[in-house]
Amino acid sequence: MMDERTATMKAASEVVDETIVRNFAKLQDLLGNTDIFMLDDLQMKISNNVGTVTVPMLTQHMMEDVFEELQNYVNVNILFAFRTADGSHHKLVTYSMPYQDEMYIISMESEQYGIVEQMSVTLFESLDIMLAWLRSCLLEVEGKERELEIDELQELADLYRIFF
């Protein structure tokens, strides 16, 4: 009986992993249209139905420039963009429209006044998990709103409208 359960769990895990890998392969093809990213030898970690990968850039770029280039090829919504009062720390979190074959969050963070050398991609197996992550990120920023200069901040109600 135990072997049967273990085999079922392993098979389910492989399906989840396959979904995440397929989502990333599609995103990687889109990112290949830009001249910004190093896409060879990327290592994705998959754990708890979530895949994470760091995508290095060929050279340093301003975060805003990378985002503008991304928008030419990848359909993403901005969850939030902020910087600290002194302008040294910048963060941008975007997410794909929630479809089965597109479930990811792209984030960039800079401690160098908006200069970035990489971006992080978090990929999801289900819309529920993705929404929970986005909601958590949004609530965290809303809790720090007084300390930050918010460039963009999506309303929680708008996030829910996109997912439901």
For 61-106, the pLDDT digits (tens) are 999 999 999 999 998 999 999 999 999 999 999 999 888 778 999 9
Maximum distance among all alpha carbons in the chain? 60
For 18-44, the pLDDT digits (tens) are 889 999 999 999 999 999 999 999 999
pLDDT of residue 5: 38
Identify the weakest region by mean pLDDT among 120-124, 144-148, 149-153, 155-159. Answer: 144-148
| Rounded Cα distance, 129 and 106, in Å | 15
